[in-house]
A = this chain, B = another copy of it.
């Protein structure tokens, strides 16, 4: 386990990732405003390795979770604008800040969504999957403090397609573990609240159980195991 030390929360200043904006407008003659942040659209891919009969997820430390998991601190962080609370979090907080996610990436290049998905699969998980094997599932949008669009894909692969160890782009600070989730543990996994995961991941798995092509008898296998 990583050693996390010297966690400090303070004002954000100019940020490459969090860009707050205020939108003002008139609705039926009434003045309104809406504060939001500009966020990039993203792609996420549910990956199934048929050789291993396992889904491929990415597991990583997500620092944004520190203050949230240390729940008692949120009210004071919210109220104290210039707060510089200095706190050495207990190790179990860092251990709990590990997430399980679909292989994902932001849309910040002038490429097709499926090409960006293909690149992310390679970078994070180490597989080269032909574009025509990457199937679009659906898309969702945030609607509150951001309006970015998330597009979901599904792809199957085999051990033959492994070309690197994955793990993300170290130069961008990514430290990602490739995590294999056996098919017959997937239903229990998505409803296990002790494992931190986005709702979009649960959506993709529920889609798989109902809609994925019945290749190699996989769905029969899942259904038999989970009845």
Q: Are A34 and B63 in contact (CB under 8 A)?
A: yes
A3 at the B interface (CB under 8 A): yes
At the interface, is chain A mostly helix, strand, loop or mixed? Answer: mixed
| A interface residues, how many (CB within 8 angstroms) | 81
Closest to A148 in B: B68
Q: Are B21 and A12 in contact (CB under 8 A)?
A: yes
Q: Determine which of B5, B14, B25, B39 lies in contact with A6 in the assembled complex, contact meaning CB atoms within 8 Å.
A: B25
Given contacts A145-B39, A198-B141, contact A2 B24 (CB under 8 A): no
Given contacts A21-B9, A99-B141, contact A152 B210 (CB under 8 A): no
**Which residues of chain A have a CB within 8 Å of any CB of chain B?**
2-29, 32, 34-39, 61-69, 74, 77-78, 81, 99, 101, 138-150, 152, 173, 175, 190-191, 193, 196-203, 206-207, 209-210
